[in-house]
Amino acid sequence: MAMFRPDTLGEVIGLDKPKQVLAVAINASRTRNKGFPHFLISGGPGLGKSTIASIIAKYTNGVVHYRLGTDLRNENDIYSLAQQCKDGDIIFVDEAHVMGSRAVIPLLTWMEDGKIPSPNGPQVVAKAIFLFPTTNAGKMSNALRSRCKTIHIDYYKETEIAKIITQCLDKCKSELDGLIDYSKIDPVAIEMLAQSSRGTPRIAIEQRLEPLIDFMLSYQSDLTVDLVTRFMDVHEIHPLGLESQDMKYCEKLAEQMSVNGATPVSANAMSQITGLSSDVIEEVIEPFLNKIGFIAIHPRGRSLTKKAWKKLGFDKQYGNPAKTASVSDPEIPFTTDSMKKAEQDAEEILAGEELINSAVEHQKTIVKNNRTLVQQPIMKSVESKLNMSTSNTPESLPTPIAKDSDVINWAEIEGFLNNGKFKLQNYAVAKNISASDLRTAFIARYGNRVKGQRGRGGGFVWAN
C-alpha cells in the first residue's frame, strides 16, 4: 500500500474539497510564515487519512509520529510523546475519539501554548502539528474539536476508484514488466474492480487489485472481464462489492421479512440470526448497505429496500416485495396489514404479560396465606386432622393443614348451601378455623359445583 500512496496533492485522485482546504493551509504557512493548523479528519477506514498526513509531512518537512488513541490515556503518555518530537513534527493520533480524558487537558495546553503542565511547573515542548483522524467525530472532545480545522472524507465515486486502480498499475509497471501485457488490460475489467471496491481506495488496492495480480499470474491470464469474474467468484465478492458476511446479512433479513410481513428487524435480532456481533453489523456491514441504498434503518429496526430485493434476486426467491411490504420507500416501511399485525401481536403480548402477572400475584397470596401446602402423597394424614371425607376431593389439588381447626362439619355446610347460601367467613369465625385454610379445603371439595357471590354479604351457593 505504501508504494501506491501519492506524494503530492496533485497526485491525489478525488477529495476535491479536502485538497482545496489543505492547499490553502500549505500556502498560508509558506507565504505568511504562519504555523500550520491542526486538523480533525473524519471519515471511514481506508479513505486516505494516513495519506493526507504523509503529504502534509512532505510539505512541512516534519517527521510523522503515529499513535493510536488508545495509546494516549493520561498526562504521562503525552509527556513521553512530547520528549520525542521536534518543532514542525506531525502527531497523527488515529481514532482520536478514544483518547483518555486525562490526556486531553495537557494535550490542549501543548496545542495552544507549546507547554505541558508538570509538577515543576509548565515545561516548554516542541511546537507540533496535530492531526486527529477519526471514524466517529461525534465522540471527540469539544475542546479538541474547536481547536482544529475539520476535513471530512467521503466515499469515492466509482470513476475515481477506477483511476486509482489504473494509477497503481502504472506505478508497479516496472515490477510487472514482462509478467503482464499492459496493452491487453480491459478497461471494463478495471471498472468491475472499481464497482466492487465499496468506494474505498484501501479495499480497491489491498483486497481487489493486489490479490487479482497474484490470481492473474497464477492463471497466466491477461486482465480481462472473464478473469475478474472468476476472481470475484472464487473470493465470494458480489459485483456491487458485497462480501460473504454482507450477503449472509441480506439473505437473513430477506428471510425474516418474508416471514413476518416485512416488519423491520432489530440489530440484536440480526446479530442472533446471523451469528455476527452487533458491532460488526452496525459499524461495518450496515453503513455500506445503507450507502448503496440496500437497507433502510428505522427506529424499530432495519428492512431491505426494493432495490436490494431486486438486485439480489429475492423477488424470485420470495416473490414480489410489494405483496409483503413497501420496501421502496425508507420512510414508509410498513403496509397497513403488517402494521395491524404488529399491533395485534403487541396486544397479545401485553395481554399475556397481564395474565402471567395476575397468576404470579395469585400464587403469592396463596403461599402467604397457606404457609404449608401438603401434596397428594400425604393427603390422608391431612384429611384425618380435618376429619374430612375424601370421596369428592380432586386428587390433583393439594389439601391444606388447618392450624386452628376444631371440626369441619361438611353436612352442616351442605345444609347452608341447600338452604340458599354458605358464608365461609362467618363459619370460620364461629368454628375458630383459619378462613384461608377453610376456603382452600372448601374449593378442593366442591370445585366448580359451587360459585361465589359478589356484592354485600357475599357467600357461596350451588352452581346449578
Instruction: Evaluate whether 156 touches 180 at the Cβ level (below 8 Å).
Output: no
What is the pLDDT, as a whole number, of residue 345? 47
Name the 3-class secondary structure at 84.
coil
What is the pLDDT, as a whole number, of residue 323? 45
424-431 and 435-446 helices, crossing angle to 10°: 120
Give me the CATH code for the 2-153 domain, please. Answer: 3.40.50.300
- The predicted-structure confidence for 159-198, as pLDDT tens digits, reads as follows 999 999 999 988 888 788 778 888 888 999 999 999 999 9
**Alpha helices by DSSP H, 265-371:** 267-274, 278-280, 286-291, 306-311, 314-318, 336-369
What is the pLDDT, as a whole number, of residue 298? 82
Give me the residues of the chain with pLDDT under 50, please: 322-356, 358-360, 367, 370-406
Q: How far apart are CA 54 and CA 372, in angstroms?
A: 79
Instruction: Evaluate whether 189 touches 162 at the Cβ level (below 8 Å).
Output: no
What is the pLDDT, as a whole number, of residue 339? 43
Strand extents, DSSP E, 166-315:
295-298, 301-304
Span 244-334 CATH architecture: Orthogonal Bundle (1.10)
The whole model's pTM is what? 0.63
What is the pLDDT, as a whole number, of residue 396? 38
Q: Per CATH, is 158-234 categorized as 1.10.8.60?
A: yes
The residue ranges of every structural domain in the chain are 2-153, 158-234, 244-334, 373-462
Q: How far apart are CA 432 and CA 55, in angstroms?
A: 97
- The predicted-structure confidence for 304-330, as pLDDT tens digits, reads as follows 888 888 888 887 766 655 444 444 444
Cα angle 23-24-30, degrees, rounded to a multiple of 5: 90
412: cell is: 352442616
Instruction: Evaluate whether 128 touches 83 at the Cβ level (below 8 Å).
Output: no
**Alpha helices by DSSP H, 114-243:** 142-146, 158-171, 173-176, 187-195, 201-202, 210-219, 225-234
What is the pLDDT, as a whole number, of residue 2? 57
